[in-house]
């Protein structure tokens, strides 16, 4: 089945220790999104790629970076995680443009000790 896969599902890191979350898709979609979702809140868009074009949200901290080496994979790098970065991180994909829905992965739960 075509899908969006996130690894790992659970990630524990230490305060200030860089961490990378990964997302892959078999849908061949143009757009890949990264969201941060804190408990009982709506997902917050951090950035997205349309093909190789990177689009950062204005309020995304510099501590968050992303890479998309090819169509299928996208990575979220947190350079120096703080306690406030503990959250669920969701990856999504879409064909882009209007009318097309986003397909979400199961998320990675990040804990910062």
Partner 1 sequence: GDSVTQMEGPVTLSEEAFLTINCTYTATGYPSLFWYVQYPGEGLQLLLKATKADDKGSNKGFEATYRKETTSFHLEKGSVQVSDSAVYFCAPQRVGSQGNLIFGKGTKLSVKP
Residues that bind partner 1 (CB under 8 A): 4, 6, 31, 33, 40-43, 45, 48, 50, 55, 90, 92, 94-107, 109
Residue 36 or residue 65: which is nearer to partner 1 going by CB? Answer: 36
Pairing of strands 73-78, 87-94: unpaired
The H-or-E segment that residue 4 falls in is strand 4-7
Environment class of 32 (CB within 10 Å of its CB; exposed 0-12, middle 13-18, buried 19+)? buried
To partner 1, the closest distance from the beta carbon of 25 in angstroms equals 13
Q: Are 84 and 20 in contact (CB under 8 A)?
A: no
Q: Which two tokens stand for residue 84?
A: 């406030």
Least gap, CB of 2 to partner 1 (angstroms): 14
The rounded distance, in Å, linking the Cα atoms of 86 and 104 is 19
Measured from the CB atom, is 62 or 101 closer to partner 1? 101
Q: In the complex with partner 1, which residue's Cβ is closer, 15 or 71?
A: 71
Q: Residue 34 Cβ, how far from partner 1 at the closest point, in Å?
A: 12
Q: What's the min distance (Å) between Cβ of 16 and partner 1?
A: 27
């Amino acid at each position: 089945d075509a899908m969006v896969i996130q690894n790992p599902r659970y990630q524990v890191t230490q305060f200030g220790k860089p961490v990378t979350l990964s997302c892959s898709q078999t849908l061949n979609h143009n757009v890949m999104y990264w969201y941060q979702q804190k408990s009982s809140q709506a997902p917050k868009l951090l950035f997205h790629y349309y093909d190789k074009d990177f689009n950062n949200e204005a309020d995304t901290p510099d501590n968050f970076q992303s890479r998309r080496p090819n169509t299928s994979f996208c990575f979220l790098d947190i350079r120096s995680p703080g306690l406030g970065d503990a959250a669920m991180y969701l990856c999504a994909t879409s064909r882009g443009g209007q009318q097309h829905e986003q397909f979400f992965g199961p998320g990675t739960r990040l804990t910062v000790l």
